[in-house]
Structure 1
Amino acid sequence: MTNPIADPGHGHSPAAWTAVVIMLLGVAIGTFAFFMAYEVIVWASAGLVVVGLLVGWIMAKVGYGVNGPKYNPKGH
């Protein structure tokens, strides 16, 4: 019996990893800036999270997403 629900790929792609790393840096910098009360840096780091989303989306559209032609999955 086959599973009717297809595997979405779990995001193991250069596009996903790049987006997550950029957004993680944004959150880490923003957390530190919030703790130190640097309001401008908090907002800049929020912008960095948005940039991470855009970079991941653009990389997926260019072909580095899970089903993209430039994505080369590695065996586990």
Structure 2
Amino acid sequence: MAGSSHGHTPAAWTGVIIAFIGFCVSGAFMVLANPLGFWAGMVIVVIGGIVGMAMRAAGMGAKKPEHKDLAEVIAAKTA
């Protein structure tokens, strides 16, 4: 995966950072026994996913690779 830059985009980093903050908020409120704060953190997690998808749609995500014909790939490897 490292060769394909999987996850190394502004959309991925932003979505994951927002989701991580949401998990931290939820975890803190879980320890404090506050259900409302816990669910607020879960909302932040969902917002992180939405922001990541919106940024990907805006062109800040990874470009989809072009798929080659399987016969061309096999011919290139055997040549």
Q: Answer yes or no: same fold by TM over 0.5.
A: yes
Match of 1:45 in 2: 41
1:15 and 2:11 matched: yes
Query: What is the number of equivalent residue pairs in this alignment?
Result: 62
Measured after TM superposition, the shift of residue 8 of structure 1 is 4.8
The structure with the greater share of residues assigned to helix is: 2
TM-score (norm 1): 0.76
Measured after TM superposition, the shift of residue 9 of structure 1 is 2.9
Measured after TM superposition, the shift of residue 52 of structure 1 is 0.3
In structure 1, stretches of 5+ residues that fail to align are 1-6, 69-76
Match of 1:60 in 2: 56
TM-score (norm 2): 0.73
Match of 1:24 in 2: 20
Give % identity.
35
Larger Rg: 1 or 2?
2
Q: Secondary structure at the match of 2:7?
A: coil
1:36 and 2:61 matched: no
* Moved segments of 4+, more than 6 Å: none
Q: Secondary structure at the match of 2:62?
A: coil
In structure 2, stretches of 5+ residues that fail to align are 65-79
